[in-house]
Structure formats: C-alpha cells, structure tokens
Chains A and B, each alone.
Chain A
Amino acid sequence: MPKRTIIPFGPQHPVLPEPIHLDLAVRDEKVVEVIPSLGFVHRGLELLVTRKDFMDMVLVAERICGICSFIHGLGYCQGVEEIMNLQVSPRAKYLRAFWAELSRVHSHILWLGLAADAFGFESLFMHSWKIREKILDIFEETTGGRVIFGVCKVGGLRKDIENDVLERIRKTMDEIEADYRTIAKVFKEDYSVKHRNCGVGVLTADEAYKLGAVGPTLRASGISQDMRKIGYGAYGDLNFEPVVEKDGDCYARTMVRVREVYQSFDLMRQCIDKMPEGPVDMKVTGFPKGEFFSRLEQPRGEVVYYIKGDGTKFIQRYRVRTPTFANVPPLVKMLGGCDLADVPVIVLTIDPCISCTER
C-alpha cells in the first residue's frame, strides 16, 4: 500500500484569498482524509453587539462579509424588527429584496469568475468580472457604496430609489443579462469546463441532507430547499422556484449558480413591476426585548441569526451561523477520495467565505 503523506492546503493558497487550512492525507495522488482547521480571521464581531447601540450595530453586521454585506445587515434588521414588532413599509421590503437579489447576482458572478480562475480559464474569469463591474456601478449609484452599502436600518431603509432610476436600472439589467448569456453559455457547454468539473467531488442527496449542506451545495444534490421560500420580506409575493440540479458534482454546483443569476434577474424585474409607493423608513422608539431566530437565504446558502435583547439599548446576545460553516462537513466528505489536483476546484465549489464563517 502506498505511503500516507500529509499535504497542507492553505491557510495561504493561490486559489483562495481567504485563510482556511486543510490537512490532506494522501496516498499516491488520492486524498484519503481531510482535517479542516479554521480560526485565522476571527474578529469578534458578535461580541461588539454588547457595546454598540442596537441601531448602529447593523453597520457592524454588514461588515461580517464583503460580498453578502447587504443580506447580513438585512438579517440583523429583520431579527430586531421582529423582536420590536415593527411593521416595515411595503416599499422598503421590496427595495430590500431588490438589493438582496442584486447582491446575489454580484456574488454568483464573482464566484463564477473565481471558479474559472481555479480551473485555469483566465479569460473567462476576466469576462465574468467585467460584467460584475456594471452591477457594482448600480450599487454605487443607488446606495453610495460598492461593497458596504449602509442603506439597511432597523425600521426600513436609509435611502429610497426613485421610480425613474429603477426603470433605468431595468434597462441596464437587460444589457447585463445579454452579456451574461454569452458567459453562461461557456460555463454550460465548454469542453474544458466540463472536463474539469463533471463527476468531480460528488455529494449525493442523502449525504448532503445528513451533513447539513445549505444553499447551492444542497440544491446541486437534488434537494429543493431555499429559505426565500419561507416568504420573509417581499419574497412571499414574488414568484420563483428553487433552482435544483441532480448530479451533486462540481459541474452541478456551477450550474445551480449559473441558473440562479437568471432567477435573480427575474426577481428584480418582479420587484420593479410590483414596487409599492410610500415611505421607506419609520421612527423607531423603545429598545428590543425578547429573542428571535431569523433565517435567510444568502448567495451561499442559509444563514441563521439569533438575536436576544433585554430591553436596553445594547443587545444581549447575537449569534450568526453562516452558510460556509454549514458547508464545511459536506466539503470534507466531497474531498475524500478525490484527486489531489481537484482539491482547489472542489473547495471553491462550496463558495467558501471564511471571514463570514469566523466573524
């Protein structure tokens, strides 16, 4: 039997700018065991809640992650609003859904670029990111920021989008979608993409369910679970079906994201069509007292927020379970038995966000 060797992967690795460390036990070229270790970028953001006014804490919540920043802020706000029994205006709900979907498009296209980079398709990477740039411009125009938006607040939004701006964004979206179609076709049909992804890192539906996979990782294994379906915010009024693929390999996970981008474009159009009139903000009085568990769908999967307030201006406990954390056990399973050369691609297909995971 070939000798067992331990090969370290990360915390600094070219494929992933974020620090995750995996000890890969290999025999020949096959990975036989994987031991993950985390904790390189822990920043203690959850504890800050005990020192920041609950209204200002949303700015910290947004900074948990640079890509799902809007949805992190949204999760915090929705939790506090539930505790305080605040009825957010319908327009604010729709705008929140609009920005959340825009974040999803931005996150998925960013990931598609990174995935192309991981399997060595540099020009595809550049074209993906070129498209993403236009989405960042929409963010900058509407919120003022490109990465951290600071528009979501407890009780509504800090900024509104004028209806004529929304119509203009719809036209820009059509252009972006046309560009995206050409890129999506490459991911779908190109020989080298398929060669690198098909049949690699297979996770069966049963394993995915048992190991608690979330988001595109779970949906790629054939399980239709999407937290937006529970109807938080404006999602209850929007029509969509979770994107599901059957095979559970890297190609299926890529395809789920490729197709989800179209779904998000569709949801944004629905938001613009149904956008109600009215204010986007409300006056918030009093302090949160009680606890709430809020579940949302981020680009990477389900995120869980636990918020507990004790009636003072500081929240007592704030806990976030991010999707990447849930996807680490399935990742370990996927890596077992794979080729050493496929490890970077498989790691990337769960769309790992380590700074999110460690907060």
Chain B
Amino acid sequence: MPINPFVKMTATIIKSLFSPSACKMYPVEKPVFYANTRGHIAIQTDKCTLCTLCAKKCPTYAIMVDRNAKLWKIERTKCIMCLNCVYACPKKCLTNENQYSSPVTVKTQEVFNITPPAPAQVAEPCGQKETTT
C-alpha cells in the first residue's frame, strides 16, 4: 500500500495548477466554430421558388412555406439542425451557417419575404423570339 494514497494523481494535479484554465471564458472569449459546425439555417431569398420541399422534409415541422403570401418561415427553437432541408432544397438556397442562432425568451417564427425569380425570366426570351421572327 503506498504511503500517500493520492500519489498517482499528484503529478497531474501539479501540472494543471501551472497550466492555463481548460474552460473558455464565454461570453468574454468568443467561441471558435468550425466550418462544418451546425449553427443555424440561412436562406437566400432571391433563389427560393417556394416549392415547399424543405417544409415537407423537415422532421420537426420547423419550416412553414406560405405560397400565397410568398413567405418562408422558420421556428428556430424547433429546428434540430439535421440539415435535411439543406440537402432537399432543389435550388440550393438553404445553407448551414456555423453561428448558433441567438437565445430567445419567447418562441417566435422568423419570417422571410420571398421574391420568386421564375416567371419574369421565362417570359422575356419568348417575347424577344416573337418580335425577331
């Protein structure tokens, strides 16, 4: 039986006495996120076609797409960052941002106004074609 029962741990304890704190002094010291870190979902509103695929694929029903009012809504507190919507979006307009969304005291929906690009672009070349022939 060793004389000092803590002898095996002593070296580790002394070492940590002289090493800096292992904890980050959050929020004074900002956390470092990796490029991959799943923080929050961002949308590029000019690319979205309101196809509703993301809402259908979302396991927690965090996304709501209102086609009539042209709104894309997300409830951040419901989102579990599974990235299903990001992989499902055909227009690749949803992205994963590596910063966490800010804490809230009330559950709210974040609402984005969508301006779908589709019809106007198709109409123009057709019209030109008609005038040239």
Contacts and interface: CB of A to CB of B under 8 A. Distances in A.
Given A56-B59, A59-B84, A130-B22, A123 B37 contact: no
B61 interface: no
A186 B8 contact: yes
B1 interface: yes
Nearest to A153: B87
B12 A142 contact: no
Interface in B1-55: 1-2, 5-6, 8-9, 11-13, 16, 22, 34, 36-38
Q: Most B CB atoms within 10 A — which of A127, A140, A144?
A: A144
Given A56-B59, A56-B84, A191-B1, A144 B9 contact: no
Interface residues of A, number: 28
Contact of B12 (A56, A145, A183, A192): A183
A219 B47 CA distance: 56
Contacts of A59: 59, 82, 84
B81 A145 contact: yes
A127 B12 CA distance: 9
A176 to B, nearest CB: 13
**Interface range on chain B (Cβ under 8 Å from partner):** 20 to 34
Contacts of B11: 182
A230 B27 CA distance: 48
Interface in B43-98: 57, 59, 80-84, 87, 96
A258 to B, nearest CB: 13
Contacts of A182: 11-12
Interface string A125-155: 0010010010000001111110010100000
A189 interface: yes
Contact of A191 (B2, B16, B36, B82): B2
Chain B, interface SS category: loop
A299 to B, nearest CB: 23
Contacts of A185: 8
Interface in A11-67: 52, 56, 59-60
A123 B36 contact: no
Contacts of B8: 185-186, 189-191
B34 A141 contact: yes
A38 B31 CA distance: 39
Interface in A271-298: none
Contacts of B12: 123, 127, 182-183, 186
Nearest to A145: B38
B87 A190 contact: no
A161 B93 CA distance: 24
B22 A140 contact: no
A194 to B, nearest CB: 10
Closest 4 pairs (CB-CB, A-B): A144-B36, A190-B8, A144-B38, A191-B5
